[in-house]
Amino acid sequence: MSNNNTIVSVQQISKSYWRDSLEIPVLQNISFDIPEGEFLSLMGPSGSGKTTLLNLIAGIDRPTSGKISVAGTDVTSLGESALAKWRANSVGFVFQFYNLMPVLTAFENVELPLLLTNLKKKERKEHVEQVLNVVGLGDRMDHSPKQLSGGQQQRVAIARAIVTDPTLLVADEPTGDLDKHSAEEIMILLERLNRELKKTIVMVTHDPRAAEKAHTTRHLDKGELS
């Protein structure tokens, strides 16, 4: 059941993949709510469906059955174009391998989501500089991803994720490709975003130390949530 402060509502979600004529169930009848301002960690063994569930919540994959609402929007009923627009406005993504555009500078990478808005160049600049300062890379704006360390690249990716001020921040193994020190920095940053900017965060991780930073940890195993 959804409470008044529920931001994400997952209802009876199932997801299967098909390999030729063979159906491979990944998620089975999963239901849960995420309150606004939550920092939720999803854990589980490989192949348990963590990333699939995250993708469904973020609207980059569609469930076989069930319904997902984010901030009152039924994501599962949106068409491709509306869904793209919704993602641009409502969700920020942080990937395990950063997924920055190698030919763009840190500034330009963070500016990418803003190109879809009606903001003027000057306004975009202000927004980008602001979030790059938040992630501590105000002095690295003109650097290309190649010139940045893994931790710095992930911070650029986080800046790109929050530059549109999304309702929800989803992170798929954000520390999975980082050394211990960088991973710690990233988790401190995510914790800060949750605490200071009140961002709702859903994070998939294998790393128990990363999961410790979250308010809540849910475990997925064989497609079932516990």
The residue from 14, 60, 71, 224 that contacts another protein (CB under 8 A) is 60
Indicate whether 24 belongs to the interface with another protein (CB under 8 A): no
Which span (34-42, 63-71, 98-106, 184-192) binds another protein, by CB under 8 A?
A: 98-106
Task: Single out the segment in contact with another protein by CB under 8 A; choices: 21-29, 63-71, 93-101, 178-186.
Answer: 93-101
Q: Which stretch binds another protein (CB under 8 A): 64-72, 88-96, 183-191, 214-222?
A: 88-96
Signed CA dihedral, 153, 213, 134, 180: sign only? negative
Determine the Cα–Cα distance for residues 45 and 33; give it in Å rounded to an integer: 22
Rule CB under 8 A: is residue 95 a binding residue for another protein? yes
Question: Which CB sits closer to another protein, 55 or 69?
Answer: 55
Q: In what order do the strands lie in the sheet with 168-172?
A: 91-94, 168-172, 200-204, 39-43, 216-221, 224-225
Q: In whole angstroms, how close is the CB of 70 to another protein at the nearest point? A: 14
Q: Is 81 in the site for another protein (CB under 8 A)?
A: yes
DSSP character at residue 60? S
Q: According to CB under 8 A, which residues from 107 to 136 bind another protein?
A: 108, 112-113, 115-116
# chain residues binding another protein, by CB under 8 A: 24
Residue 145 exposed, middle or buried by CB count within 10 Å (0-12, 13-18, 19+): buried
Beta bridge partners of 6: 35
Q: Which is nearer to another protein, 173 or 207 (CB)?
A: 173
- Shortest Cβ distance from residue 175 to another protein (Å)? 18
The three-state DSSP-derived secondary structure of 81-103 is HHHHHHHHHHEEEECCCCCCCCC
